[in-house]
Amino acid sequence: MLDENLPTFVLKPSKEKPKQLSTFLFSQHGAEFEPQYTLKHLDPDQHASKNRYAAALYDAFSPEVLYAEVLLIPEWTQPASLSEQARASGAIPPPPEPILPSQFAIQLYNPDQQILVRHRPASFNKAAAWEFEIPQQAFRAPSGSALDRTLHDPAASEVTPKIVFKWKKDSKFSKDLACFMSGKSTDIEGKAKNRDPDITVSIFKGLKELTLYEPNLQRVDIEDMKGFEVVLLLGAVVIRDVYFGSLKDTFNLNPSKKLSTTSPTTGPALLVPDARLQSASPIHDPRIPPTDPRTQWELDAEAARLRQQTLEETRQRKRREEQEERLTRQLLQREEQEQRRKQQSEIDQETAWLKHMYGQEDASARPNVPPRDPRQGRHYSEAGQGAYSQTQQSQHPPQFPHGAGSHTPGPYMSGAASQSAFLAPIPAQQQQLKQKSSIFNFRRRSDNDANNKIQRKRSAVF
């Protein structure tokens, strides 16, 4: 505190909602601090609070009384567009960032007037400053004339003289802001020697405590001193939040956790007039676009994320299906190999059993048959064939017929079989088959035939 005798306002955040509610406590002449104003910010959890900034000053003991409010909707940067290849691969352009506003307006109620605060950036030889003007006359003078009642309020009239003020840093490395009265709107430029020096009217120490220089306020020729006090308090808070804070937190760029039923085309819930204007219809601010660039980027980013998630899920499902198909094929191959192994085992067992049962019997039935040559398959070797023929000739010698015309048995017949062959008569059909024909159409007939003579056939021509 600079001086306990000076009017001092201390900003105390609420313990329940520090980002939404704060209280300006007032003290003077060493008295205890008492609530004077309630400062409200947008609830960051509401959907209507995204991508904008708003602050309002209410009466501490009458919450329905609104003194002033500020609404800021920033302009946005335009990120570079992506190439077609990048868009096809699912790339998302960088989000648009808010641009630091060059001015903001403080809307006062009862009487209604708007105070425009312009930001002048720092230069090589000048510090950053925020300038605003307050009209000297704010209230309409009592008059019974109907013509006077048709005129504009003095605060809205362009011919009403205005007092010029400006906020600027106390020093280059200091966090304190000081407000100075720098002149009037009716001052003529070029007459610097007749211009009064700047007068300090307020100091915002540490961006938390605002002190009014009461002795210098007597030199401020303003009719609405209450309005001037409200402008100082709310203007200092907005400058602190917007120009000395993080734009990401100031404009609530973080995704909201809750959705509100408030339409995006309507103003925030706290931006309502005082009790005298509550009977009117709700206020609609045409400055609020239905979809700002940041919100549109969030929608596009969410759509791109969902598309990417869908593609990833599709790829994972395909990989799972291919893996399951590969495992199924492997399982079927193992089952088929096991079945083939079992069948081959059964065949081998059956072959071994057959060899055991019929191998000795076959050898005893054909003792003189040479063994099978595995290199030549089913054929015997020439040496084996010669030995076999000699053995058969030695066991069964050839027998020759005793007379012409008699039947000769085969060389392999012997004993009773050969004798029965000599005694048995030869059938006539077999005799006819054995007769031979000559080329001159002579036929040899049987001895029993009566015409058993050679005869010349008659010619068909002669």
CA dist., res. 118 & res. 132, Å (int): 6
**280 Cβ contact partners less than 8 Å away, ≥ 6 residues apart:** 273
Amino acid at 356: H
Are the C-beta atoms of 418 and 426 separated by less than 8 Å?
A: no
Are the C-beta atoms of 232 and 135 separated by less than 8 Å?
A: no
pLDDT tens for 63-80 read 899 999 999 988 888 877
pLDDT of residue 115: 93
pLDDT in tens, the chain (462 residues): 678 889 999 999 888 766 789 999 999 988 999 999 999 999 888 878 888 899 999 999 998 999 999 999 888 888 777 777 776 676 777 888 888 999 999 999 988 899 999 999 888 888 889 999 999 988 887 777 888 777 777 877 788 889 999 999 877 777 889 999 988 888 776 555 566 788 999 999 988 899 999 999 988 989 899 999 999 999 999 999 999 988 888 888 875 444 333 333 333 334 433 333 333 333 745 444 456 777 777 777 888 888 888 888 999 999 999 999 999 999 999 999 999 999 999 999 999 988 888 876 655 665 565 555 545 444 444 544 554 455 555 555 555 444 444 444 444 444 444 444 444 454 554 444 445 444 445 444 444 544 555 555 554 544
pLDDT of residue 366: 58
Token pair 């760029």 is at which residue?
A: 253
β partners of residue 34: 26
pLDDT tens for 435-462 read 544 444 544 444 454 455 555 555 454 4
pLDDT of residue 456: 56
pLDDT of residue 308: 83
Cα-based angle 217, 223, 224 (whole degrees, multiple of 5)? 85
Q: Which helix (H) or strand (E) holds 149?
A: helix 146-149
58, 59, 100: which is closest to 271 by C-alpha?
58
428, 423, 425, 421: which is closest to 446 by C-alpha?
428
Q: What DSSP designation does 255 have?
A: P
pLDDT of residue 204: 93
Beta strand pairing call for 162-169 and 53-59: unpaired
Residue extents of the structural domains in the chain: 8-76+93-139+152-289, 291-366
CA dist., res. 408 & res. 397, Å (int): 13
CA dist., res. 110 & res. 55, Å (int): 18
Whole-model pTM: value is 0.60
pLDDT of residue 5: 87
Residue 452, token pair as written in the block: 């058993």
